[in-house]
Amino acid sequence: MKIDDLLNKYFEGETSCEEEQWIRNFFSNEKVPEHLLCYKQMFAYFDNEITAEQAKKTEQANKRAIPRRKTLIYTLSGIAACAVMAIGISTFLQQSNDSDKRNYVVINGKCYTDEATIKAYANASLQEVATSKDEVFTELFKD
């Protein structure tokens, strides 16, 4: 097909994408017939616009990718913070449950953790040092 026929078809809007690409490639060469030189600048302008549009789309895609990364980072940091809090709370609760087991009393060189045994020893010791009312009055009014 001749370039003149293809140009007429182009200006009528009847060319395919491949044909339009072929026309742009034709005018990007340095060997353009003299009677078609007036179209060379027009197609060079179209090529520049296409390149600029592609660069703009690439830039927009990059701009959209950055917030996605930030969202991912925020999400992962939130998950990590929740995991740290869960570990801290479980450690605290485990320590509070174990605190009953860690309390002990040493009586006569033996370690006791049973609460009933400890109360019995405490009551027995208090009874040994307790004084009756009569003993208190005699000690108070002793001349």
Nearest to 7 by CA among 18, 38, 20: 20
Do 50 and 65 fall into the same domain?
yes
On whether both 60 and 121 belong to a single domain, the answer is no
pLDDT of residue 17: 83
Mean pLDDT, rounded, of the chain = 81
Mean pLDDT of 78-94: 92
* Phi (first) and psi of residue 13, to 5 degrees: 80, 30
> CA-to-CA distance for 41 and 39, rounded, in angstroms?
6
**Cα separation, 124 vs 130, whole angstroms:** 10
The whole-number pLDDT of residue 28 equals 77
Q: How many domains in the chain?
A: 2
Best-predicted range by mean pLDDT (17-21, 62-66, 118-122): 118-122
pLDDT digits (tens, 9 = 90+) for 54-84: 888 888 777 776 677 788 889 999 999 999 9
Assess whether 21 and 89 both reside in one domain: yes
Please give the average per-residue pLDDT across 24-36, as a whole number: 77
